[in-house]
Amino acid sequence: MDTQNQNQNGGDNNKVAKAYEKNMLKVQALLGGDVKLPTKAKKGDMSSIVAELFKEETEATNLAVKNGLKELVKTHVTAGKAINAKKQELAQLELQKKKEFNEAAVKLFNQIEGVDSLLAEYQRSLGDAVNAVEETEEETEE
């Protein structure tokens, strides 16, 4: 039974291949090939039909390419605008964050300067107190 299926498939393949070749010859004839095509239409009529078919296909393809190119350019322009807008947003964000950093830095540096001046004030105050004590001791010794 397996051999019978193979023979049947081989026969079907052969029929399909022959029909394909025959149809290809007809298509070639339609497109102006050397093969003669039995038809009720005159050869000149068939040539004009084929020419018109290709003209319509070419015009349709040209229109599709034109529209596709137009959409591609629009997409590029739109993308460029969106990118530029995001770059401006990023620049504004960067500026804002730098301002925030500068404010925090100034606040910290003012605190640091405050510590130094506070320390100097404490040292001066303690120095004055020590001097006062020493003077008092010297006066009591005299």
Tens digit of each residue's pLDDT (9 = 90 or more) over 66-101: 999 999 999 999 999 999 999 999 999 999 999 999
- Is the same domain home to 111 and 61? yes
State which residues form the domain around 53.
39-141
- Residue 35 pLDDT > 60: no
Number of domains in the chain: 2
- Is the same domain home to 88 and 74? yes
8 Å CB contact between 35 and 28:
yes
User: What does the pLDDT look like over 92-126, one tens digit per residue?
Assistant: 999 999 999 999 999 998 888 777 777 778 788 88
- Is the same domain home to 49 and 24? no
Question: Residue 86 carries which side chain, given as an amino acid letter?
Answer: K
- Compute CA distances 16 → 20, 21, 26, whole Å: 6, 9, 15
- Is the same domain home to 65 and 45? yes
